[in-house]
Structure 1
Amino acid sequence: MVEKIITLENVSLVEFLGPDNQNIRQLAAAFPGSKIISRGNEIKIQGQMPVIARINEILSSLIEHYHQYGAITDRNVSEYIAAADDEQQERIIATVSPADVIVFGAKGGVIKAKTPNQQKLVDTVMKHDLTFALGPAGTGKTYVSVALAVRALKNKEVKKIIISRPVVEAGESLGFLPGDMKEKVDPYLRPIYDALEDMIPAEKLKFYQENKIIEIAPLAYMRGRTLNNAFVLLDEAQNTTPSQLKMFLTRMGPTAKVMVNGDRSQIDLPTKQKSGLLQALDILRDVRGIGFVEMTAEDVVRHRLVKEIVYAYDRYDVQTQRDQATRPTRDLYRPHPDSRPESDFPTNGSTSLPVNREQQL
């Protein structure tokens, strides 16, 4: 760990550091792997050399801003942090092949396809306005899709991102949830927020959401809208009903890019309810202009055991189908254990019903 000390000269500490050092606290929060300590007119930075260099650049910019305007606000701090992130991304671009990169993360990391099918998904989305991405858990469907949406927004290919999910509980009832509508549905949309936070700095993401540039909403909110000039993602589509998915697909405007993600093996709808995704695959399979990408267990990028779990469940499903197919027909027509034995019925060729002896008495 490296340490650097910056001395503030001709600066009002109250104006520069903010009330209760909030400006320094905000800067420290943007670099959680480092340590920033303010004592008197000195600011001590501890961390890895590349991070210290970025913090030093931001502090130098803030000092220049203070001498020019006489004050520093939390908004100024956010803007200079975001500017430093953009410069860092430009430096990374110079050392990484652009063809391999989907987007650069909030901390400067490279987000790219990790498997052949993930790359196929990236290529298919580039060529089609509507793409279905199918596959088991852990194959990166959601993460890659969000990265493609962020890239389209950064490249000004679209003006907004709209991401939706059906609000369906996974096999359990959570009962009444307190709070307003946003607080009720946010837990269902948490994976989307996690992906976005990896790719967009916190302050910029907050700005996008407040100005409706990035919109995350339950599927029910899509009815009646025309989704135009936007990158639109429907996640967990296996939990839509046929009418819901048809409603969503018919929202597509002339300049929209739409993705539909789903996992056939994790349908959480009531037993008798048909999945809208399965129906849509049957109906739309031969429609020209729609892309389909099938992910497999080979594309799992989570813990290595996730891949083995997917394989195990696949083997179980195949064996169950074989057992059902080879079960003797007579097993399907076994009499109910409460049914009457044949000896209770006449054997003299008569078709009359058994006598109710209680009525005879």
Structure 2
Amino acid sequence: MLKEKIFKIENAEQQVGLLGAQDSFLTLLEDGIGAKLHAFGDEIKVNGQDDQVDTAYDILRQLAHLIKSGVKINATDVVSAMKMAERGTLEYFQDLYSETLIRDAKGRPVRVKNFGQRQYVQAIRNNDITFGIGPAGTGKTYLAVVMAVSALKRGDVERIIITRPAVEAGESLGFLPGDLKEKVDPYLRPIYDALHAILGKEHTERLMDRGTIEIAPLAYMRGRTLDNAFIILDEAQNTTTMQMKMFLTRLGFGAKMLVNGDISQIDLPKGAKSGLKQAQAVLQNVRRIEFVEFAAADVVRHPVVGLIINAYDQYETESTGNN
């Protein structure tokens, strides 16, 4: 049944915060929920099906409460609220903002954006090795860097080591100039972007020059024991079984490991088995190791990204069923 609700805006600060630039937050809500939202004066009119209208109204109420408590919301906050509403956990939305993990290079607070990310952060704190498995856009890499930098700033670790396997995603490393590290560096761009966002470009480069932060291909880890370090393995779905075992056994005293990957995007040669998939089967019940699995609902990018992921998953499932 169609209905309409009117959300009352309390003040100018709330108006700017709820609408976004050129009503962009309302557009996000329309894309994600299906209701129609129209701002006029100090009101937001919400039209659509019963459930769509109620959901949109509840999200506006939660976002308005955040603004009132001094939180400056952005597009990812709006998407997070929609995802929690979809899962029926919107009542816990405010809890996500009770803790600041770190402040970024511009002094802005960094917080978890959904329940999946909160589980991930708690797993990192409580275990020696944490696996984050799920699609792109769930914040695995960014949060891994956040937790690593936090640990470094607290003095829990002496250095950060970030690595990934040198496997091409449909491109050839052989034609790129430089040594192996230089060839892999472009593929580590998300890591560099996260470090620059949290520490700033100059500070990151100083720490790298001192060896406090090391970014290197997985091949460089062989034969080392990594004590007092926060170690991140990204794109772990592209490790072989031997590489994964080699990496995990580098863990030293006073160290933490994070292993992130997306098992739906394996670029290994045909016939090669993913070390990440094997680790899921072998290590599930090992003490001090925890697996956190993210879903499309945990994606904190534009709502269409989650729809794209679901569409591909459905297509692959149907294709497999028809073969």
Q: Normalising by structure 1, report the TM-score.
A: 0.61
| CA 206–98 in structure 1, closer or farther in 2 if over 3 Å, else same | farther
Deviation per residue, 1:264-291 (Å, 9 max, x gap): 1000001111101111111111212211
Give the deviation of 1:292 after TM superposition. 0.8
Offset at residue 98 of structure 1 (A): 8.8
Distance of aligned partners of 1:187 and 1:257 in 2 relative to their CA distance in 1, 3 Å threshold: same
Aligned counterpart, 1:210: 209
User: Is the radius of gyration larger for structure 1 or structure 2?
Assistant: 1
Deviation at 1:321, TM superposition (A): 3.1
Deviation at 1:105, TM superposition (A): 0.6
Instruction: Name the residue aligned to 2:157.
Output: 158
Task: Report SS of the residue matched to 2:318.
Answer: helix
Percent identity between the two aligned chains: 57
Equivalent-residue separation in structure 2 for 1:254 and 1:281 (angstroms): 23
Q: CA deviation at 1:180?
A: 4.1
In structure 1, list runs of 5 or more residues that go unmatched.
1-94, 325-361
Residue 48 of structure 2 aligns with which residue? Answer: none
Partner Cα separation in structure 1 for residue 219 and residue 180 of structure 2: 12
Residues 53-92 of structure 1 mapped to structure 2, 5 A cutoff = none
Q: Encode CA deviations 1:124-148: one digit per residue, 9 max, x unaligned.
A: 1111011110001111110111111
- Asked whether the equivalents of residues 165 and 236 of structure 2 are also in contact (C-alpha less than 8 Å), the reply is yes
Structure 2 counterpart of 1:298: 297
The answer to whether the Cα contact below 8 Å between 2:222 and 2:247 also exists between their aligned partners in 1 is yes
Give, in whole Å, the separation in 1 of the partners of 2:100 and 2:270: 41
Mapped pair 1:268 → 2:267:
yes
**What letter matches 2:278 in structure 1?**
Q
- Residue matched to 1:358: none
Q: Give how far 1:305 is off.
A: 1.5
Distance 2:166 2:194 in 1: 18
Q: What displacement does 1:99 show? A: 4.9
List structure 1 segments (4+ residues) > 4 angstroms apart after TM superposition: 95-99
Matches of 2:243 and 2:301, distance apart in 1: 30
Q: Offset at 1:181?
A: 4.2
Q: Which residue does the alignment assign to 1:308? A: 307
Per-residue deviation, residues 215-234 of structure 1 (Å, max 9, x unmatched): 11100000000011011000
Q: Is the 8 A contact 2:116 2:294 kept in 1?
A: yes
| CA deviation after TM superposition for structure 1 residue 298, in Å | 0.8
Aligned CA distance change for structure 1 residues 180 and 173 (closer, same or farther; 3 Å): closer
Match for 2:110: what amino acid?
Answer: I
Q: For residues 172-321 of structure 1, what are the structure 2 equivalents within 5 Å?
A: 172-321=171-320
**RMSD after superposition:** 1.7
Is the contact made by 2:164 and 2:218 (CA closer than 8 Å) also made in structure 1? Answer: yes
Structure 2 unpaired stretches of 5+: 1-69, 72-95
SS in 2 for 1:100: coil
1:169 is the counterpart of 2:151: no
Structure 2 counterpart SS, 1:310: helix
C-alpha distance 181-168 of structure 1, shift in aligned 2 (>3 A): closer
